[in-house]
Amino acid sequence: MELKDLHYLLAVKEIGHLGKAAQSLGITQPALTKCLQRLEKFYATRLILKVGRGMQLTEAGLLLCERAQKVVHMMQVTRQDLQALGAGTAGVIRLGVAATAAEFMLPVLSKDLLHKAPTARLEVTVGMNDLLQKLLRENKVDLILGFLPQGNSEFITRPLIEDPVVIAASRHHPLANIHPTPEQLDEYNWLLPSDNVATRQWLEQRLRSGGYAAPRAQMESNTLSPLRAVLAQTQLLSFLSRRLLKGEGGELIEIPLPLVMMPRTFGWQFRSLSELSPASRLLVDLAEKRWPW
């Protein structure tokens, strides 16, 4: 049995006449008859009976038509789904994203993706870069949208936007608008990520190289973005994306200390472009069109 045999049987049922059904299918009536005989042999039962000059489906024929409609429909849906997967307009994307990128890049990127691929699914993991790289290494995410490590990387990188990191504090902080001396900066405690995070290590190294003491962390968190209100209500200092300061209603300000203004680039990290699904490649392309480097 071939799938086209079921198409032909459904045409016979719909039209109710062998000659006219053959004409609508673009085949000869003997070819259509042979197709029906093949189906009857395959299922070992009569499917069609002649009634005068016409024909009618047997009970078995009606049952097969009912099942055939489901099979044909499923094959059509499968074909459409596979075409969509191949075009990148469907599928699952396992995305690791830094907190800053989740707040300022992911919303507009999701809008672009769902416009182009309305049936695509995103599985998003928000975290620090070290965690996301571990997940990428273990093949638990497909790609990372976050800040790009300096120097050689074990992953392929694609830059998108600049995102410097600066010392941040409440606008009411005693150091507001002051270029602090080492003594002044050392009076205050910090809200920082754990000491194994590259951003904090960079901050500590730069402060020491400029004659400042290492920052004393009074609060630590695996992500700083949701804790900006803590800075606004305390005299803690932190080390945040400059973009995050703009989004806090003027409650946070940058402490001007060029020594520790960390240049940082946000972009993509992935193992190999050839390993990415069509949907993931579509997401990469959409981001690069929105933020051309």
What's this model's pTM, rounded to 2 decimal places? 0.60
Q: Give the position of tokens 């080390």.
A: 239
Q: How many residues does the chain have?
A: 293
pLDDT class of 149 with cuts at 50, 70, 90:
confident
**Residues 109-116, mean pLDDT to the nearest whole number:** 93
**Cα separation, 22 vs 39, whole angstroms:** 16
In this prediction, residue 129 carries a pLDDT of 85
Phi/psi for 105 (5° steps) reads: -115, -40
Cα distances from 49 to residues 13, 29, 45, 182, 220, in angstroms, run: 12, 16, 11, 99, 81
In this prediction, residue 69 carries a pLDDT of 85
pLDDT reading at 172 higher than 80: yes
Calculate the dihedral angle through the C-alpha atoms of 204, 206, 211, 217, rounding to the nearest 10 degrees.
-20
In single-letter form, the type of residue at position 100 comes to T
pLDDT tens profile 158-170: 999 998 999 999 9
